[in-house]
Amino acid sequence: MTDKSFWQNKRITVTGGAGFLGSVVAEKLRQRGAEDIFVPRKRDYDLVDPAAIQRMLDDGQPDIILHLAAQVGGIGFNQGRPAQIFYDNIMMGVPLLHKAYERGVDKFVAFGTICSYPKFAPVPFKEEDFWDGYPEETNAPYGLAKKMLLVQAQAYRQEYGYNAIVLLPVNLYGPGDNFNLQSSHVIPALIRKFTTAQENGDKEVHLWGDGSPTREFLYVDDAAEGILLGAENYNGDEPVNLGSGQEISIKDLAETIGRLTGYEGEFVWDTSRPNGQPRRMLDVSRAKEYFGFEAQMTFEEGLRRTIEWFRENREEIEAREREAQPNA
């Protein structure tokens, strides 16, 4: 249940607050009556630098930190930058939580990842299975870096009584997602590929893997609501899954997005490319029990809204990509 009084007269820092998820979290905070929301931008506070963390805390003076910032992408991005992804996520998280404790920040909410689960965790993934194996290889550097936040949060709670909680989301999607094919996750990548193919009249679209892996997805507004409900109502040491509790194969996902975008060509699966983790689906009962969270958005409606947003914002997206090119 939402507790708007929780946010009154509190200073809140949202790392990653200008990004895909963070901007929705910041808006929901304003709707809850929060008036002092500090959103550090990377150009001003590169949180990989401990000195930038110090400056951010000096400037924001937070009572609560919602740590959403991350360095992450799809399978190709993760394969190409494993060292950078590991280092950046460790350095953005571990020193920040430590300094938050030292400064007496009342509560630290860490946003983890489903990539931390073992590659062959029983489905649906239950939080008690979190340590029963090594993560899927293409996601391991990211998943393990984020997993250390749970170790740290539990250790600081045990030794110092510090109130840090860890939430574990499935793959997010929705309006405002990253549609850059070099770094995007599967839903925005498929939306862009099929939209482009439909407009160009292409007869086939090439896709990674064989389509057999399954995934679960959470609409960005639902994820933001889960974060805030957890911040308001949960003060425990156990990690908590955030998801929709619905599983879909990549093949069925591609066919659904193809249909919704109007693409009528062939699907060509490149089995030389990695599939990633075989199955992903969460047991979401703990989130409902501990702080009353249940996803509200139906999957097809969420996809429709995401496709519509991409089409409406495509020119701006492409212009930003051109500007970011080294020789632009």
Domain spans in the chain, listed from the N-terminal domain onward: 4-324
Lowest mean pLDDT among 105-114, 140-149, 268-277: 268-277
Residues recognised as catalytic: 142
Q: Whole-angstrom Cα distance, residue 226 to residue 166?
A: 12
Q: Is the pLDDT of residue 64 over 90?
A: yes
pLDDT of residue 276: 81
Report if pTM > 0.85. yes
Q: How many CB atoms lie within 10 A of CB 94?
A: 15
Please say whether the beta carbons of 25 and 224 come within 8 A: yes
Please report, rounded to a whole number, the percentage of residues in the chain having pLDDT higher than 70: 99
Do the beta carbons of residue 177 and residue 185 sit within 8 Å?
Answer: yes
What mean pLDDT, rounded, does the chain reach? 94
Which stretches of 234-283 are DSSP H helices? 250-261
pLDDT of residue 327: 62
pLDDT at position 321:
87
Q: Summarize the confidence of residues 94-108 as an average pLDDT.
A: 98
User: Beta-strand (E) ranges in the chain?
Assistant: 11-15, 36-38, 64-67, 107-111, 164-169, 171-173, 204-208, 214-215, 217-219, 240-242, 248-249, 266-270
Per-residue model confidence (pLDDT) at position 328: 47
Give tens-digit pLDDT for 213-242: 999 999 999 999 999 999 999 999 999 999
Would you state the pLDDT for residue 255?
Answer: 96
Terminus-to-terminus CA distance in the chain, angstroms? 49
Q: Residue 35: which pLDDT band, with cuts at 50, 70 and 90? A: very high
d(CA 62, CA 17): 14
Taking 70 as the threshold, does the pLDDT of residue 1 lie above it? no
Which structure tokens are listed for 303?
């996809």
Average pLDDT over residues 73-91: 87
Contact (CB, 8 A) for 92 and 15: yes
CATH superfamily of 4-324: NAD(P)-binding Rossmann-like Domain (3.40.50.720)
Mean pLDDT check: name the lowest of 54-68, 188-202, 221-235, 313-327. Answer: 313-327
Strand 36-38 with 248-249, pairing: unpaired
Average pLDDT over residues 134-146: 93
Cβ atoms within 10 Å of 74's Cβ, excluding its own: 23
pLDDT of residue 196: 94
pLDDT average, residue stretch 100-109:
98
| pLDDT, average across residues 156-176 | 97
DSSP per-residue string spanning 26-46? HHHHHHTT--EEE---TTT--
